[in-house]
Chains A and B, each alone.
Chain A
Amino acid sequence: MATLDLTSISKSFGNAAVLHDISLAIRDKEFVVFVGPSGCGKSTLLRIIAGLEAATSGQIVIEGRDVSREHPVERGIAMVFQSYALYPHLTVYENIAFPLRVQKLAEAEVRQKVGRAAEILQLTDKLQLKPGQLSGGQRQRVAIGRSIVRNPKVFLFDEPLSNLDAALRGDMRVELSQLHRSLNATMVYVTHDQIEAMTMADRIVVLNAGRVEQFGTPMELYHHPATKFVASFIGQPNMNLVPATVREATGEGVTVELAGGHVMSVPVEGHAAMKGAKVEVGIRPENVTLAEGAGLDITVNVLERLGGVSITYGTIAGGTRFCATLPGDAAVAEGRNIALAVDPRDCHVFDASGKVLRRRQAPALVA
């Protein structure tokens, strides 16, 4: 049972506060991804969990034990670094064996543990090579091997795939997910790549400017983003945010007039006082279709035909950019005006402070 609880973690470097009062409860065997733009504090938070940095205030509890002042080894964590941090002068075998050598284990035990790790990671025939002779993916596996020989309670990954090329990254994502299942361990993973977050995570922590924007499953974040920031961070291409004015608002729904004049009633929980307020309507590119008749009018500027889909970048009258993912054979062309049909039930409404209005008819959550 390796639960990881963070209580009111704050961190400042001098006068610059990078983390503000972060509390998270990570469950046993959970794969949690910290995601956010660069500089949001996600790596610092991971380093605090690892024990490489001390939090200015707050508590780290692993398995119910306060480890805030303990050494990484006593905490029972292992970390995989972005640059792999392999020792270039040691063989793969010695790299993986390094934590065991520190513990001064007997050679037979070392050989057995390294052998098992190498087997899991398919490195058995590479053990006598130096890291310089390996490909990026293999180096990454050696780094993971070094973390698993010690049987830690919590694995920490600091952007481990960002140095790999796109194809390999896809493969490693699958491998890491399988590894998580076979090791049955709690894992915390930092990335700036929302696709990695969406595909691997049990739950995602979205960080922005040192604060937790939202902590939830990938589908919660996708269908019920708590803030405009989460909404635009999750999903590819990014969610469109169209300025709008509230014409009428009740607990049942909000009628808005989008920039460009399109009017629709979105089934979100509003209140009468919102009438006349400026809001933003979030519409995902994948939730629009070409309209049969009238709809949301956009002028197509750039068209990317990917075969299966055509990603259409355009502008709404008034200059707001709008992106739509249309079928591969959609009858659109650059420079043309098209009308898009939007189902109001797929839309999100964000108030002036960026907070979402609760959706009343959202898709059932994936458990």
Chain B
Amino acid sequence: MMDRYTWPQTIGIYACILVFLTFILLPFFEMFMASLRPLEHLFRAPYQFWSDDFSFGAYSRMWDTVPLLGRYIFNSVFIATAVTAITMVFVVPAAYAYARLDFPFKNASLAIFLGVNMFTGAVLLIPLYRVLRSLGLLNTYWAMIVPGVAFLIPTGIWLLRSYLEKIPRELEEAAYVDGATRMYTLRRVVLPLAVPGLIVVGSSVFIGAYAQQFLFAITFNQTRAYQPLPAGLFEFIGYQSVTWNEMMAAALTGVLPVMLIFLFLQKYLVAGLTAGAIKE
């Protein structure tokens, strides 16, 4: 076995895991704790970790404070789903072309895709605003979906291409010899075999879409009914007070769908990231 560690190594590894997990999970934990506290306890000094009056009241009150909260959560999932679906429609044929076909500027264009990823959406906000305004897409769902798709296609192509390249070429040659067209082969042979890869790419696009919508929402959309959750959370900031506990409760509720999806797809993600690493 390659993965035998001595006990000091084991302790070291677990210590590192603990540090990283603390950094990642502590905010979530603090969010959860804050959502349980009555508002006045949040500002109590000295900081008191445990209070006797924890309650889940914020989870019911938040729907009254921000009446459109349900709509915001729906919008978030809807926008991310739409972005994922449209992205996949573009990514699948493109990734297949990059994996199998030869065309001019193939490597150059792949490099450019990677380069585009180095610009965050923030750098391009103002030009994008002008583009969307010319197209008349401001203040619609499209204002958040279109740039979302555009920014996620490059990563999708890179991820899926490397997955498709691992599908043995002989399978496609066999289909070709048997008279199948490229599209038929893609549909009947390649895509069914690429399902784990499609799930990996699909979920990573979904997560990306979920994460990036805030920026596009606050810049390109003023219509409340179309706001996704991260933008909608601003409504917990009132004129006199910020209902932090309700905001935390709403944020957790909104993140929940993504977390559930991740739990379900986790095994595919791990399988997809290591696919082809060893000979089967």
Contacts and interface: CB of A to CB of B under 8 A. Distances in A.
Given A89-B193, A102-B184, A81 B173 contact: yes
Nearest to B192: A89
B54 interface: no
Nearest to A50: B177
B178 to A, nearest CB: 4
Given A87-B189, A88-B193, A102-B184, A81 B170 contact: yes
Interface string A37-78: 000000000000011100000000000000000011100011
Contact of B177 (A51, A82, A87): A51
B259 interface: no
A124 B177 CA distance: 25
Contacts of B171: 85, 87
Contacts of A88: 193
Interface string B189-211: 10011000000000000000000
Contacts of A83: 168, 170
B180 interface: yes
Contacts, number: 54
Given A52-B173, A85-B170, A99 B193 contact: no
Q: Max chain B CB contacts within 10 Å: which of A82, A83, A85, A150? A: A85
B175 interface: yes
A79 interface: yes
B115 interface: no
Contacts of A98: 175, 178, 180, 188
B179 interface: yes
B175 to A, nearest CB: 7
Contact of A99 (B168, B170, B178, B192): B178
B273 to A, nearest CB: 20
Interface residues of B, number: 16
Nearest to A81: B170
Interface of B is mostly: helix
Interface in A149-197: 150
Nearest to B170: A85
B63 interface: no
B253 to A, nearest CB: 39
B20 interface: no
Contacts of B178: 72-73, 78, 98-99, 102, 146, 150
Nearest to A87: B189
B234 interface: no
Contacts of A353: none
Interface in B51-86: none
Contact of A52 (B168, B176, B180, B189): B176
Contacts of B237: none
B174 interface: yes
Interface string B98-111: 00000000000000
A51 B173 CA distance: 10
Contact of B168 (A72, A78, A85, A103): A85
Contacts of B179: 71-73, 99, 102-103
Contacts of B174: 79, 81, 85, 146
A24 to B, nearest CB: 21
B171 to A, nearest CB: 5
A361 B202 CA distance: 74
B102 to A, nearest CB: 13
A72 B176 contact: yes
A101 B177 CA distance: 13
Given A88-B193, A89-B192, A89-B193, A78 B170 contact: no
Interface string B240-256: 00000000000000000
A77 B171 CA distance: 17
Contacts of A51: 177
A88 B229 CA distance: 43
A85 B171 CA distance: 5
Interface string A76-111: 011101110101110000000011011100000000
Q: Max chain A CB contacts within 10 Å: which of B173, B178, B188? A: B178
A175 to B, nearest CB: 20
A103 B184 CA distance: 11
Contacts of A102: 175, 178-180, 184
Nearest to A101: B188
Nearest to A80: B174
Interface in A269-294: none
Interface in B148-189: 168, 170-171, 173-180, 184, 188-189
10 pairs of A and B residues whose beta carbons are closest in the complex:
A73-B179, A85-B174, A99-B178, A85-B170, A72-B177, A89-B192, A102-B179, A79-B177, A81-B170, A102-B180
Interface of A: 50-52, 71-73, 77-79, 81-83, 85, 87-89, 98-99, 101-103, 146, 150
Interface of B: 168, 170-171, 173-180, 184, 188-189, 192-193
Given A51-B177, A103-B179, 18 more contacts: A72-B177, A78-B177, A78-B178, A79-B177, A81-B174, A82-B170, A85-B170, A85-B171, A87-B171, A87-B188, A87-B189, A87-B193, A98-B178, A98-B180, A99-B178, A102-B179, A146-B174, A150-B178
21 contacts: A52-B176, A52-B177, A72-B177, A73-B178, A77-B177, A78-B177, A83-B168, A83-B170, A85-B174, A87-B171, A87-B192, A88-B193, A89-B192, A89-B193, A98-B175, A101-B188, A102-B179, A102-B184, A103-B179, A146-B174, A146-B178
